[in-house]
Amino acid sequence: MNAVPDLGVFARLKCRLARNQLRGLGGENWVRPASIAFSSLLVAGFGFASSLGGFAFLNQQKLPLGGDIVGLLLDLFFLTLATLLSLSTGLILFGSLFDSPEAAFLLSKPVPDDRVFAHQFSGAILFSSAALILLALPLLLSYGLSTRAGTLYYLLMPLYFLSIPLLPGSLGAILCLTLVRWIPRRRKEALGTLAVLIAFGALFWIGMGLRNLRYAKSGDEEVLNEVLGHVRFASAAWLPTHWQSQGLRQAARGQMEPALRYLALSLTTGLMAFCLAGLVARKWYRIGVDRLSQQERRQNTSRFQWLDSIPKLMPWLSPQERALLLKDFRTFRRDVRQWGQGLVFLVMLAFYFSSLRRMFPGDIPPAFRNGLSLLNLAVVGMLLCASCGRFVFPLVSLEGRRVWLLGLTPVSRLHWVRGKYFFSLLLCLIFSLPLVALSDSMLELPAGGMVVHQITAVFLATGLSGLAAGLGAVWPSFQEKDPSRIAVGYGGTLSLVISLAYLLACLAIASMPWHFARAVGVDQFPVWGWPLSLFGLVMGGLLASLATLFPLHLGRVRLDAMEF
Amino acid sequence: MTSQANTRASIQQVSKQYGQHWAVRELNLVLKPGELFAFLGPNGAGKTTTIKLLCGLLRPTVGTIEVDGYNLATQGLQARAAMSYVPDLPFCYEHLTAREFLELAADLHGMDKQLAAQRMDEVIRLFELEKFIDQLTERFSHGMRQRTVFAAAMLPEPKLLITDEPTVGLDPRSVRQLKDILRNHTSKGNTVFLSSHSLDVVEQLADRIGIILGGKLIGCGTLEELRSQASHNGPLEDVFLKLTQTEEQRAGVDGP
C-alpha cells in the first residue's frame, strides 16, 4: 500500500461530484439551477448592455477605446475585481478549510496537508469566480465587439480568465492561513474586522476623491483629470492586474507577441503565488486547525443582554410570539458572521450618504436633489431586500430537524410566521429610517419629501419583511443548515425576485408621485402635487398591506398542512 | 521509526489546553496490538479531545503521541496511514454513491487497485451494503451512513481503528454485527480504540477500559482491575459511577 494517494484522486472526486449533481437535475430539481441560470443571464445581459452602451458613449465623445483613458478604466476594473476575489476566496476558504466536516475527514486521512488545501482552494476559486464570469465576461465581450477585436482576442480570453483569479485567490488564501496561524484568538472576528478595514480604506479613498473633485471647479476637463489622477495607481507597471488589462487590449489590437507575453507573465505569477500558498498551507494549515480549536468557549453573553429588551418594544404581541421573537433575536445577535455582513453594507451606505454633501460645492441643483434622493431610497430598499432575503427568509428553514420542537408547543403556526415577521420588521425599521433620514437631510430635501420617504421606508420594511417571512414558510428547506445556501436556493431566489418587483412597485406608487410633482414644479410645488402624493401613499399602503398579509397567510396555511 | 513490538500507539504525558482550560491533563496510555480499548467518561471529560489528538486533528500542548511507531507531530502521514477514524457524526459526500465513497477511501489510503476491489467486495458483504451501494448517500438514514463510513474505515484494514460512539443510531442487528466485526478486527492483531457511553457494549467487548474525568485518566485496566480499584464487584455501570463520583467528591474536597 502506498502511503500517499495519487495526484488524480481529488480531480476524480470533483468530476464524480459534478457528474452526480448534473444527473440529479432531472425531475423537479431543474427549477433551482434554471432560476440561477436565468438570474445570472439577466445580470450578465444587463452588464453586457450597459458596458456596450458605455463604450458607445466613449466613442461618441471621441475617446479612443484603445487609448489611455479606457486602459486606465480597465486597469481599475481588474484591480477592483482582484480585490474582491482575494477577499471572497479568503472568506470561503476559512469555512472550507477550518469549519467543514469534509476538511476534518480529509485531515484524518494519510493525505498531505497541502493537497487538502489545493482541493479546497480549487473549490473556493470556482465559487468566487462566479463574480468574474458575471462581471468580467460581459464587459470584455462588449469591449471586443466595440473595438472590433479579431479571433486572437476571443481565443486568449479564456486563458486570461484562468489567470485572473489565481493570484488574488492565492493571496486571499495566504492571508486566511496567516491570520488563523498567528492571530491568537477570535479569528472570525479578525477576518471580519480586516474586511471592514479594507472597506473603510476604500471609502476613505473614495471620500478623498470626492473632496478633490469638489475643488475642481473650472470645467469638465479638470474634473476628468482630477478623477483620473486619483485612480492612476491602478496602471502601475508592476501590478499583475495591469498586465491582464494590457494583454487583453493588445489581443484586441491583434498584437500576438505582447498579448502572449502578458498572459505568460500573469499565469506564471499566479502559479507562483499558488505554490507559495501551498507551502504556507503545508507549514501552517494543521497548526491553524489546532489553534482554532483552542479558541475559548464563550460563556459570558451578558454584555449585550440589554439588546434582548428590544422585542419588548412590541407590547401588542402575545407572550408566545414575544418568546419566539426573543429566541430569533438572541440567535441572530450571537451569530457575528450573519449580521457582520449586513453591518459592513450598512456602514458603507451611511458613509456614502454622509459624504453626499461634499459632492456639491455650492447649492445642490434641484434636479440632482430630486433624483438622487429617490435613488438613495431605492438603494436602502435594495439593502433591505437583500438583508430580508439573506437573514429572514431562511429563519423558518433554520428550525430544521428541530421543527417538531416548535410543532409540539401550544403555539399557533400563525404565531411562528408572525414572530419572524416582527423580528424582521423591527430590524428593518431600526436601520432603514435613520439611513433614509440621513440621505434626505444631506441632500437638503424639503420636509414634505422627507415625510414621504419615511412613510415609503415603513412600507418597504413591512412589505419586504412580510414577503421574506411568509415565503420562507411557504418554501422551507429543513434539511439545509447553512442560511446562505437556503437564501440562494429555489425558494430564496424566487422570493428575492418577488421582493425586487415589490420594491420597484412600492417606490413607483408611494414615492414617485411626489418626485414627479417636484420635477414639474421646480420653483414652486404644484397645488395638485399634494393630493397626488397622498393618493400615492394610500395606494402604497394598500400594496404594503397586501405584500405583508398575503404571504403571511400563505406561510401559515403551508405550515398548518405540514407534517413533522 | 521507534517501533516497539508490543505497542500499537502510545500517548505520553499528553496535555491539551483550550485557553485557560485544560481539556486533557498528563495523559499516559499505551494501546497494544490485538486489543480493544474502551474509553469512558462523562460529557465534557476530554474523550473527544483525546480522540482528536490521537487522530492528529489536534496537537498536544505538551507530550508526544506515536502511532505504529511514528510520531504524529513529525511523521503524521505515516502515522495516519496506519489508522482510520469514525467520528460520532459520520461524514459522507452527499453527491457520491456509497460505492464511490468507498473507492475514494481506498484512493486516499493509496491502495492498490486490485486489493481495493477485493477489499471493497469484502466490506460491502460485511456491512450488508449491497442494497444501497449504488445510491447517493444524500438520502441515507443515520444507520446506513454509519455503516458506509465504517465500511470505508475498515477498507484499508487499519492497524488502529478509532471510533467515537459507534453504536448510536444503529438497529440491534447492526449493533450485533458491528460488535462481531470489531472483535474480528482485533483478532487479526489490529487495535480498536472505542469511545462510548453504551456501557453494556463496552462491558461485552473491551479488553481494557480507561475512564477519564476532568481531563485526567482516573482508572485504566481490565474490568476486574477497575472493580478492584472501585472496591465494587458489580456491573461496569456501577463501577463507572462509583469511580467518577469518588473522584468528583475528592476534587470537591481538594478544590479545583
The partner residue sitting opposite B95, judged by closest CB among A20, A110, A296, is A20
Q: Tell whether A226 and A179 lie within a shared domain.
A: yes
CB-based contact A101 B91, cutoff 8 Å: yes
Q: Tell whether A512 and A466 lie within a shared domain.
A: yes
* pLDDT score for B142: 85
pLDDT tens per residue across span B3-36: 456 889 999 999 998 878 889 999 999 999 999 9
**A22 belongs to a structural domain:** no
Tally of domains within chain A: 2
Q: Are A266 and A238 in contact (CB under 8 A)?
A: no
CB contact set of A311 (below 8 Å; sequence gap of 6+): A317, A322, A325, A326, A329, A422, A423, A426
Mutate to test the interface with A, among B15, B62, B91, B138 (most CBs of A within 10 A): B91
Judge whether B180 is closer than 8 Å to chain A, CB to CB.
no
CB-based contact B93 A17, cutoff 8 Å: yes
Q: Which chain A residues touch B105 with a CB distance below 8 Å?
A: 109
Instruction: Tell me how crowded residue A470 is: count the other CB atoms within 10 A of its CB.
Output: 29
Interface list for B 195-214 with A (CB within 8 A): none
Interatomic CA distance for residues B48 and A143, integer angstroms: 57
* pLDDT score for B251: 65
Burial class of A183 by CB neighbour count within 10 A (0 to 12, 13 to 18, 19+): middle
**A436 belongs to a structural domain:** yes
Q: Tell whether A352 and A279 lie within a shared domain.
A: no
Among chain B residues, CA nearest to A108: B55
Judge whether A17 is closer than 8 Å to chain B, CB to CB.
yes
Strand partners, B211: B40, B219
DSSP string, A220-281: HHHHHHHHHHHTGGGG-TT-HHHHHHHHHHHHHHT-HHHHHHHHHHHHHHHHHHHHHHHHHH
pLDDT at B85 over 60: yes
Mutate to test the interface with B, among A17, A290, A295 (most CBs of B within 10 A): A290
CB-based contact A297 B18, cutoff 8 Å: yes
CB contact set of B32 (below 8 Å; sequence gap of 6+): B6, B7, B8, B191
**A308 belongs to a structural domain:** no
Among chain B residues, CA nearest to A9: B107
**A8 belongs to a structural domain:** no
Q: Tell whether A318 and A286 lie within a shared domain.
A: no
Among chain A residues, CA nearest to B110: A5
Angle at the Cα of B46 from the Cα atoms of B42 and B47, rounded to 5 degrees: 75
* pLDDT score for A18: 87
Q: Tell whether A487 and A415 lie within a shared domain.
A: yes
**A21 belongs to a structural domain:** no
- Torsion angle, CA of B238/B244/B249/B255, rounded to 10 degrees? 180
Q: Tell whether A170 and A222 lie within a shared domain.
A: yes
Kindly list the domain boundaries of chain B, sorted by start residue.
Answer: 87-157
Q: Tell whether A248 and A351 lie within a shared domain.
A: no
Q: Tell whether A246 and A350 lie within a shared domain.
A: no
Q: Tell whether A389 and A447 lie within a shared domain.
A: yes
Coil, helix or strand at residue A540: helix
The partner residue sitting opposite A109, judged by closest CB among B17, B58, B109, is B109
Q: Tell whether A232 and A99 lie within a shared domain.
A: yes
**A302 belongs to a structural domain:** no
All three cell numbers of A18: 459534478
What is the band of B2 on the pLDDT scale with cuts at 50, 70, 90? Answer: very low
Coil, helix or strand at residue A154: helix
- Continuous H helices in A1-65: 9-23, 31-60
Q: Tell whether A267 and A336 lie within a shared domain.
A: no
Mutate to test the interface with A, among B72, B104, B145, B163 (most CBs of A within 10 A): B104
**A288 belongs to a structural domain:** yes
CB-based contact A17 B96, cutoff 8 Å: yes
Instruction: Tell me how crowded residue B106 is: count the other CB atoms within 10 A of its CB.
Output: 23
All three cell numbers of B161: 481503528
Judge whether A102 is closer than 8 Å to chain B, CB to CB.
yes
| Average pLDDT of the residues of chain B | 90
CB-based contact A108 B80, cutoff 8 Å: yes
Angle at the Cα of A29 from the Cα atoms of A26 and A32, rounded to 5 degrees: 135
**A538 belongs to a structural domain:** yes
Q: Output A423 or B220, whichever has higher pLDDT.
A: B220
pLDDT tens per residue across span B141-153: 888 999 999 999 9
**Order of strands across the sheet with B62-67?**
B21-31, B9-18, B62-67, B70-71
Q: Are A214 and A361 in contact (CB under 8 A)?
A: yes
What is the band of B255 on the pLDDT scale with cuts at 50, 70, 90? Answer: very low
Interatomic CA distance for residues A201 and B16, integer angstroms: 40
Low-confidence ranges of chain A (pLDDT < 50): 2, 218
Range of the domain at A221: 30-293
Interatomic CA distance for residues A506 and A517, integer angstroms: 17
Q: Tell whether A490 and A522 lie within a shared domain.
A: yes
Look at residues A293, A322, A355 and tell me which one is the last residue of a structural domain.
A293
pTM of the model: 0.75
